[in-house]
């Protein structure tokens, strides 16, 4: 990954920026889904879309949906259910996909990461040879599961976010796989060059710690890893993820507890990594994707973040020193759950909720 400074650039509050109506794109509805959660494009331009109650679909660019059989039972309710889906780096050859879900069991539920082969023979779709590669333990209650997958640019490792399940102290407990970003080999094993690999267990798998509710994770074209996460009452964050760093939750935050009790700000504890951008009031950031297509050449290298509370789409620009700026915030009229870039350069977003629309965004003609 690219070299990063010892500490990210000064924090910037983008929470006072108001969404704009003058969108430079046309958003065309293509299909609707029941509580959709994630979009992942296949090399041929079709996409996989998950629904939180436990359904997955293979969808073509016209919106024709094929149910994917073989999805395991999920613990559905509140923020939990079937979560992210990601196409394996070698998918063209292996047809492999990865996905996350809340796995039910004695004691409640826990985050699980699985790999399967996507079989699309005969016009149907099914998961074959499914294998759970990693699961958080022990099972318990609570939302804020995280569950976002990002593959390293070299295709050799995957990064996985795990939320704190509404148990904040776990984010600072090195022996609990909650409130962490994990780094794993593609088979779910532990890389020997992780920061604490010699310590075994959860510690060996941990890349960073001190996170709350991370719902967006993606590599920039320059190799840096970025993550957005929801804060409490204020203090949503965009973080530059750096090997071995602690991001402070719940010891510090730029928001406060929902009961009104204050939390020390990041500036009071310089030993923790501070966000590059934070939002107070919150936008409830969700899916995160970097633009590398050709339809919007002026946006090359920008990141797009779906805003749930803001009901908006944010565009983030970056400098060469680990700094970032919210360049645009567009009013989308509905909660935006995920963002993805298609092989043809179109930007796709999906709305949250029981009748969430899948939208294709293309440039507005002058």
Q: What is the pLDDT of residues 49-58, one digit of tens each?
A: 999 999 999 9
Summarised one tens digit per residue, pLDDT across range 229-257 is 999 999 999 999 999 999 999 999 999 99
Instruction: Name beta bridge partners: 150.
Output: 159
- Summarised one tens digit per residue, pLDDT across range 203-220 is 999 999 999 999 999 999
- What span, in angstroms and rounded, lies between the C-alpha atoms of 321 and 319? 6
Measured in whole angstroms, the distance separating CA 203 from the mean position of its chain's CA atoms is: 22
Q: How confident is the model at residue 300 (pLDDT cuts 50, 70, 90)?
A: very high
For 260-289, the pLDDT digits (tens) are: 999 999 999 999 999 999 999 999 999 999
Tokens of 329: 């915030």
Distance CA 7, CA 271 (A): 9
Identify the residue whose tokens are 């991001």. Answer: 247
Structural domains present in the chain: 36-282 (2.120.10.30)
Q: Using CA atoms, how far apart are residues 148 and 12, in angstroms rounded to an integer?
A: 25
Average pLDDT over residues 191-210: 98
Mean pLDDT of the chain: 96
Query: Helix, strand, or coil here: 302?
Result: coil
pLDDT band at 1 (very low <50, low <70, confident <90, very high): very low
* Beta-bridge mates of residue 33: 356
Alpha helices in the chain (DSSP H): 91-94, 201-205
42, 87 in Cβ contact below 8 A? yes
Beginning with the edge strand found earlier in the chain, give each strand of the sheet holding 336-341 in spatial order.
Answer: 25-33, 356-363, 347-351, 336-341
Strand, coil or helix: what is 172?
Answer: helix
Report the SS3 class of residue 299: helix
Q: What is the pTM of this model?
A: 0.96
Residue 196 per-residue DSSP state = T
State mean pLDDT over 121-126: 96
CB under 8 Å to 361, separation ≥6 — which residues?
Answer: 25, 26, 27, 28, 346, 347, 348, 349
What is the spatial distance between Cα 167 and Cα 198, in angstroms, rounded to a whole number?
27
| CA dihedral (338, 130, 42, 136) positive or negative | positive
Of 129, 124, 52, 108, nearest in space to 85 by CA: 52
How does residue 83 score in pLDDT terms, banded at 50, 70 and 90? very high
Tokens at 294, concatenated: 């050709």
Instruction: Please check the confidence at residue 78 and state whether its pLDDT lies above 60.
Output: yes
């Amino acid at each position: 990954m690219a070299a990063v400074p010892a500490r990210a650039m000064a924090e910037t509050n983008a929470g006072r920026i108001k969404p704009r109506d003058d969108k430079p794109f046309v958003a065309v509805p293509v299909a609707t889904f029941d509580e959709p959660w994630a979009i992942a494009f296949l090399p041929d331009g079709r996409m996989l879309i998950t629904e939180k109650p436990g359904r997955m679909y293979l969808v073509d660019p016209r919106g024709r949906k094929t149910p994917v059989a073989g999805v395991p039972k999920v613990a559905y309710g509140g923020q939990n259910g079937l979560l992210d889906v990601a196409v394996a780096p070698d998918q063209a050859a292996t047809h492999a996909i990865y996905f996350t879900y809340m796995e039910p069991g004695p004691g409640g539920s826990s985050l699980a990461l699985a790999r399967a082969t996507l079989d699309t023979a005969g016009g149907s779709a099914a998961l074959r040879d499914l294998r759970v590669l990693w699961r958080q333990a022990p099972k318990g209650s609570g939302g804020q599961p995280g569950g976002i997958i990002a593959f390293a640019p070299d295709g050799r490792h995957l990064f996985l976010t795990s939320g704190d399940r509404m148990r904040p102290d776990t984010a600072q407990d090195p022996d609990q796989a909650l409130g962490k970003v994990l780094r794993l080999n593609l088979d779910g094993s532990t890389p020997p060059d992780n920061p604490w690999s010699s310590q075994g267990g959860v510690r060996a798998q941990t890349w960073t710690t001190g996170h709350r509710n991370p719902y967006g994770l993606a590599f920039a074209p320059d190799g840096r890893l970025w993550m957005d996460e929801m804060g409490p009452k204020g203090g949503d964050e965009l973080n530059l993820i750096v090997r071995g760093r602690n991001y402070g939750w719940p010891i510090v935050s730029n928001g406060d507890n929902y009961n009104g009790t204050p939390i020390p700000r990041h500036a009071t504890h310089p030993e923790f990594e501070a966000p590059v951008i934070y939002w107070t009031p919150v936008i409830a950031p969700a899916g995160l994707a970097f633009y590398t297509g050709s339809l919007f050449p002026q946006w090359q290298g920008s990141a797009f973040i779906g805003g749930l509370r803001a009901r908006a789409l944010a565009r983030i620009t970056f400098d060469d020193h680990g700094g970032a700026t919210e360049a645009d915030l567009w009013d989308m009229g509905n909660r935006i759950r995920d963002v993805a870039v298609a092989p043809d350069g179109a930007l796709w977003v999906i709305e949250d909720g029981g009748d969430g629309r899948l939208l294709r965004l293309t440039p507005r003609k002058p």
